[in-house]
Amino acid sequence: MTYTKTVPQSVEWKNTHISLLDQTKLPLETVFIDLFTIEDVWDSITALKVRGAPAIGITAAYGLALSAQSYKSLSIAEFKEKLNQDRDYLASSRPTAVNLIWALNRLVASIECAKTVNEAKTTLIHEAIQIQVEDEEVCRQIGEHALSLFKDGYKLLTICNAGSIATARFGTALAPFHLAAQRNVNLKVFASETRPILQGARLTTWELLQSGVDVTLITDNMAAHTIAVKGIDAIIVGADRITANGDTANKIGTYNLALLAKAFGIPFYVAAPKSTFDISLQNGSEIPIEERNPDEVTHISGVRVAPEGVQVYNPAFDVTPNDLITAIITEAGILQGDLGLEIRKIFGE
């Protein structure tokens, strides 16, 4: 059965609060929650109620703007100081996706010239909304560039959820699939379940079914066999932080797929907006990798599956070296060859 409904937005500014699609409830329930405080926002990002690099950047930006509306009896200098403190607090919610700090710093910078508190409060709201508006268009452009690489009938493998709900709309790695479905271009997607949080099984399958995309769920350990037996034509993934040389942090298990792509001689594509690049880092060894609660590995849906007391290693991301990446698909175009050089070009270095 395929769905024709559009995918709901993951986050929305409501003036007095933020409305958030609670991604921990999907696919069994579509639940929206209201965030009224900066602590609500921090908790929602940390608990993956909102997740996906651009989506957490947008949500954090709204959280900063929302918190600033409650500042009282401050001079503009004191206002800016408190805003920096709130920026640092929200930045501590998750360490790997650079979009979080990028969006927060963009908001702080937007009021640099503000002369009054009221002017600053209004500017912060407008800048946060602008980040979401821009991201939707950027993701649509990424989808168009990616779709240009895929012929009708192509079979693609992806991991995690780099989809519409991980961004303002469309997604990054999933953007070409949403666009293809609107144009009757026949792409077949294989979604890795993505242990331990199951973003692939829970979110990518749900999202692509909403758009009527032909999607097949596999477990992570089926990837090599699926590539071999199903004749996967290419792999496309999202990103959380891309360094100056093109090394890319993405969901744990992405590196595995890049190694498989090389072994099978198929393209490995990374799809990401410029806001996911951190050219202050020279290579992937400098990217902070989030380690999460061991319970995510020892439990599935709250049911313990591993013995009490077992040691657990739970990195949420890994880093794919640039030499395993065929191309990085951005709103500025498709970067390939000398990725470091191509990255410098799109950032005007």
> Binding residues for ligand LNRAV4D5, per CB under 6 A?
51-54, 160, 162, 166-167, 172, 199, 237-238, 240, 250-251, 316
- In the complex, the smallest distance separating the C-beta of residue 307 from ligand LNRAV4D5, rounded to whole angstroms, is 26
Residue 240 catalytic? yes
Tokens found for residue 80: 């800016």
In the complex with ligand LNRAV4D5, the residue whose CB is nearer, 79 or 102, is: 102
Contact 240, 234 (CB under 8 A): no
DSSP for 123-187 reads HHHHHHHHHHHHHHHHHHHHHHHHHTT--TT-EEEE-S--BGGGSSSSBSTTHHHHHHHHTT---
Closest listed residue to residue 3, CA positions, set 214, 207, 210, 213: 210
In the complex with ligand LNRAV4D5, the residue whose CB is nearer, 76 or 217, is: 217
Q: Name the β-bridge partners of 192.
A: 218
Tokens found for residue 1: 């059965």
How many alpha carbons fall within 13 Å on the CB side of residue 252? Answer: 15
Please identify which of the residues 40, 86, 233, 240 carries the catalytic annotation.
Answer: 240
Please report which residue ranges of the chain form alpha helices under DSSP H.
38-46, 53-69, 76-91, 98-110, 117-147, 175-182, 199, 205-210, 223-230, 254-264, 295-298, 339-346
- In the complex, the smallest distance separating the C-beta of residue 50 from ligand LNRAV4D5, rounded to whole angstroms, is 9
Q: Which residue number has the CB closest to ligand LNRAV4D5?
A: 238
- In the complex, the smallest distance separating the C-beta of residue 53 from ligand LNRAV4D5, rounded to whole angstroms, is 4
In the complex with ligand LNRAV4D5, the residue whose CB is nearer, 83 or 247, is: 247
In the complex with ligand LNRAV4D5, the residue whose CB is nearer, 316 or 343, is: 316
- In the complex, the smallest distance separating the C-beta of residue 237 from ligand LNRAV4D5, rounded to whole angstroms, is 6
- In the complex, the smallest distance separating the C-beta of residue 146 from ligand LNRAV4D5, rounded to whole angstroms, is 13
In the complex with ligand LNRAV4D5, the residue whose CB is nearer, 207 or 240, is: 240
Catalytic site residues? Answer: 240
